[in-house]
Structure 1
């Protein structure tokens, strides 16, 4: 893991990716022991809270609350949620990357 997270750019990138699979809080805990790039890690996992439903435990909780109230709309909610979160990632990642590493 230390070899993977050996730069600020890779820490930023992989923290977003790992957040999509195991959620952003566990990703922070997992990756924090392998990098000194704290700022990039924290920005990556915060941005990584967007994207998949799993990316943020708060999103999972809100989804569960929503489908308890409106079970027939779960697919519609999930499609809209995923679309807007992926769109948010697609807009925010390049902007933050430019600010962090190119300016």
Structure 2
């Protein structure tokens, strides 16, 4: 890009890129803390779906997948959990954060109404899909 279109480099969202970098560094480091890894190993076995969902709500689903992948043996359950975990709070998926930033940048709508509607719809879909995953 530096050769083809130098201007595009100035338009990148570097704060978002740094958020990704620091989040992955944080996840890599927290997984190495013995107390954290012992806790994760204890809670994930047999509870991969719900653990993936809950972890995704506080750290986003991709970092949650990376953190939890070293624990438990039910990879299918973990994949389902972190994919479902992309629903719920706005933090649950980086794509949701990106869409929120675009929406907040528009002067057309209320940010608080967006958050309430977004969260309500996502929690409903999360609940429905979680119930379906249990079948």
Q: What pairs with 1:1-103 in structure 2 (closer than 5 Å)? A: 1-7=40-46, 10-70=47-107, 73-98=110-135
Structure 1 segments unaligned to the other structure (5+ residues): 99-103
Runs of 4+ in 1 over 4 A off after TM superposition: none
RMSD: 1.2
Listed one character per residue, the Cα deviations across residues 63-98 of structure 1 (whole Å, up to 9, x for unaligned) are 001100137511111111001001101111111112
Look at both structures and tell me which one has the larger radius of gyration over its CA atoms.
2
Task: Give secondary structure in 2 for the equivalent of 1:3.
Answer: helix
Instruction: Return the TM-score normalized by structure 1.
Output: 0.88
2-side partners of 1:47 and 1:6: how far apart? 18
Please report how far the alpha carbon of residue 47 of structure 1 lies from its aligned counterpart in structure 2 after TM superposition. Answer: 0.5
2-side partners of 1:96 and 1:84: how far apart? 18
Structure number with the bigger relative contact order (C-alpha 8 A, sep ≥ 6) is: 1
